[in-house]
Amino acid sequence: MIEIQNLNKNFGTNTVLSDLSLNLEAGRIIGLLGPNGSGKSTLLKILAGLTSDYRGTVLLDGHRPGEDTKAVTSYLPEKTYLSGWMRPVDAFDYFADFYADFDRVKAAEMLKQFRLNERQPIKNMSKGMQEKLQLVLVMARKAKVYLLDEPMGGVDPATRSAILDVTLRQYQEDSIMIFATHLISDVEKIFDSVIFLGYGELKLFEDVDRIREKYGKSVDDLFREVFACSVSL
Amino acid sequence: MFSKLVKHEFRATARIIPFIFMVTVFLGLVHVLTVRLNLGVLSVFSLILTVLMCFAQVIIAYALVIWRYYKSMYSNEAYLTHTLPVHPSMLLWSKLLVGFVWTAASYITAIGVGFGVAAAHMFKTAGEWQNFVTGYHQILKAIGIEHSQLLMWFVIAAALLISIVLVLSEVYFSISIGSTSKMHSLGIGGPILVFLGTDMSLRILSALAALFIPLGVRFTTNASGELIGLKFVVQSMFSQVVDSLNSTGMASSSGDSGIAGIGSYLLLPVFVAALLYTASRVITRHTSIK
């Protein structure tokens, strides 16, 4: 479903992704893990078609990121992207107009589950409420590829559970989901595989079951070991 | 998809810009009312406000349209805009169309309100309106274009509309180039620097085109300096300068004539096409949202 060959991306003299190669199959939830600045968001932006000045080959369902792939890719950025004047109903109109796979009924149900008012302007919502609304918009699509960048970054633990629940329930079995997060212990139970990105380089790409079998550790423990920082006081 | 992009672009911009036009029209109506009621000081005050608003609303319309482009294409909203399943050039065209409609509407509103205010002062009786029309036709006759006034107004309107498109194209081009990853470190300074460089280059090219392209309007004046003729000529300003230098001291005492080069107008569509083509390619191939 996703094929990445020798992907390189620089910001000026700073290398963000270096010779990255990956082959990701459909029907899996993949954790994209790495310390801050390791290139997770950049990789997701490239897959989503937000960054086009990279070197290497990137194919989603056989196509370069573009008009065709955007129709089947549902991307949740870490930033809030809706205009302040919009209300959830306006955002639903917007998504329904552009994405043929957007399910308005499902979106309304999820909105209710998150106890959001569909007539409340976004500018009057807290950051957490805005994040929930964006998750609703993204997960109400029957996409082939889901790219979630820190979907639980700014929310309380109870909401994290609700987000995880919604994500799992709406996920389509024949699609692929890449889930970038720092909150590994909260989420690792839903991952089929994990990718460890360390400063632009692929450190590990392994099934979660295999990690437990091979290293006798949880993903969270292995992450801490691989990316350990020595701090002297 | 294009019609949907245009619909949502209008929806996003229609909450502020028409309101500004309504303020201008309202001020114009207040002024006309104060003139009719002979409210001296209030009339002067409302006239100043109306005139200021006529200019301000054009500037505000440009500012809002440009800000909207930057915000939706290169700030947080870009995360939604650039993940829509449309060709990137369609984003540019839809924003250009909507931006053009609003800025053209701002000029039309300003001209309409300006004419209305002037009419309130000048045409208090039917006779005054008749005198104005007669005077207008006399001027056209005096300069020899009474049979081509439609063409004249068409050329003026076309020049205004294409200059709006040029300004928007130049700004959209500058924002798109100035927001590529190589210029991220400059922040908002990137688009501003690109705009200054582009604008200067286009001005130099326009000046050269006006000088050297053999297309112009010959203005003929009488001995007292009044305009008595206008004529399109296939001659460049530069050749006229050369002719003038060759015939120094032989100027006629019965009048004079000069050529204003309009070859630069021929280049405007070329500038617009080049700017939009480049902007579209940059958006397609070099987009890098921060």
Question: For residue B210, is it within any domain?
Answer: yes
Judged by CB atoms closer than 8 Å, whether chains meet at A68 and B182 is answered as no
Residues B154 and B260 in one domain: yes
Nearest Cα of chain A lies from the Cα of B83 at a distance, in angstroms, of: 6
Residues B111 and B159 in one domain: no
Question: For residue A232, is it within any domain?
Answer: no
* Residue B72, domain extent: 1-122
CA distance B189 to B170: 16
Q: What's the number of domains chain A is made of?
A: 1
Mutation target among A8, A41, A44, A53 for the B interface, most CBs of B within 10 A = A53
Mutation target among A98, A122, A144 for the B interface, most CBs of B within 10 A = A98
Dig out the tokens for A173 from the structure: 């079995």
**Where are any strands of DSSP class E within chain A?**
2-11, 14-24, 28-33, 55-60, 73-76, 145-149, 176-180, 193-198, 201-207
Question: For residue B131, is it within any domain?
Answer: no
Confidence of residue A231 (pLDDT cuts 50, 70, 90): very low
Dig out the tokens for B99 from the structure: 């931006």
Judged by CB atoms closer than 8 Å, whether chains meet at A82 and B80 is answered as yes
Mean pLDDT of chain B: 85
Give the H or E element holding residue B233. Answer: strand B227-233
Q: What's the number of domains chain B is made of?
A: 2
Taking the CA atoms of residue B106, residue B107, residue B111 and residue B117 in that order, the dihedral angle to the nearest 10 degrees is 30
Question: For residue A205, is it within any domain?
Answer: yes
Question: For residue B129, is it within any domain?
Answer: no
* Residue A134, domain extent: 2-226
Confidence of residue B113 (pLDDT cuts 50, 70, 90): very high
pLDDT at residue A91 is higher than 90: yes
Judged by CB atoms closer than 8 Å, whether chains meet at B15 and A85 is answered as yes
Residues B157 and B251 in one domain: yes
- Cβ-Cβ contacts under 8 Å between A and B: the total is 71
pLDDT tens profile B183-197: 777 888 888 999 999
> Which residues sit opposite A62 in a β-bridge?
none
Residues B159 and B29 in one domain: no
pLDDT tens profile A25-64: 888 899 999 888 888 899 999 999 888 888 899 999 889 9
Confidence of residue A75 (pLDDT cuts 50, 70, 90): very high
Nearest residue in chain A measured CA to CA from B288: A51
Which residue of A50, A70, A83 is in closest CB contact with B289? A50
B80 — contact with chain A (CB < 8 Å)?
yes
Judged by CB atoms closer than 8 Å, whether chains meet at A12 and B181 is answered as yes
Question: For residue B111, is it within any domain?
Answer: yes
pLDDT for residue A89? 93
Residues B268 and B155 in one domain: yes
pLDDT at residue B52 is higher than 80: yes
Question: For residue B68, is it within any domain?
Answer: yes
Mutation target among A15, A42, A52 for the B interface, most CBs of B within 10 A = A52
CA distance B157 to B115: 16
Judged by CB atoms closer than 8 Å, whether chains meet at B77 and A68 is answered as no
CA distance A11 to B235: 52
Task: Give me the numbers of helices (H) and strands (E) for chain A, helices first please.
Answer: 9, 9
pLDDT tens profile B119-128: 877 777 777 7
Judged by CB atoms closer than 8 Å, whether chains meet at A67 and B86 is answered as yes
**Left (φ > 0), alpha (ψ -120 to 50) or beta: where does B86 sit?**
beta
Dig out the tokens for A112 from the structure: 């209710």
Which residues of chain B lie closer than 8 angstroms to A17, CB-CB? none
Question: For residue B163, is it within any domain?
Answer: yes
CATH code of A84's domain: 3.40.50.300
Residues B243 and B166 in one domain: yes
pLDDT for residue A47? 92
pLDDT for residue B259? 79
Which residue of B12, B85, B285 is in closest CB contact with A52? B285
pLDDT for residue A233? 44
Question: For residue B228, is it within any domain?
Answer: yes
Residues B69 and B194 in one domain: no
Which residues of chain B lie closer than 8 angstroms to A135, CB-CB? none
Task: Measure the N-to-C terminal CA separation of chain A; round to a whole number of Å.
Answer: 47
CA distance B290 to B184: 8
Confidence of residue B170 (pLDDT cuts 50, 70, 90): very high
Question: For residue A233, is it within any domain?
Answer: no
Residues B233 and B156 in one domain: yes
Nearest Cα of chain A lies from the Cα of B37 at a distance, in angstroms, of: 41
pLDDT for residue A172? 77
Residues B154 and B276 in one domain: yes
Nearest residue in chain A measured CA to CA from B182: A12
Residues B88 and B29 in one domain: yes
Question: For residue B194, is it within any domain?
Answer: yes
CA distance A157 to A230: 29
Residues B174 and B267 in one domain: yes
Residues B81 and B163 in one domain: no
pLDDT tens profile B227-283: 677 777 787 788 877 877 777 655 455 556 777 878 788 888 899 999 999 999 888
Using DSSP bridges, classify how beta strands A73-76 and A201-207 pair: parallel, antiparallel or unpaired. Answer: unpaired
Confidence of residue B84 (pLDDT cuts 50, 70, 90): very high
Dig out the tokens for A48 from the structure: 């989503």
pLDDT for residue B256? 67
Dig out the tokens for B225 from the structure: 């300096």
Query: What's the pTM value of the predicted model, to 2 decimals?
Result: 0.83
Q: Which of B140-149, B191-200, B217-226 has maximum average pLDDT?
A: B191-200
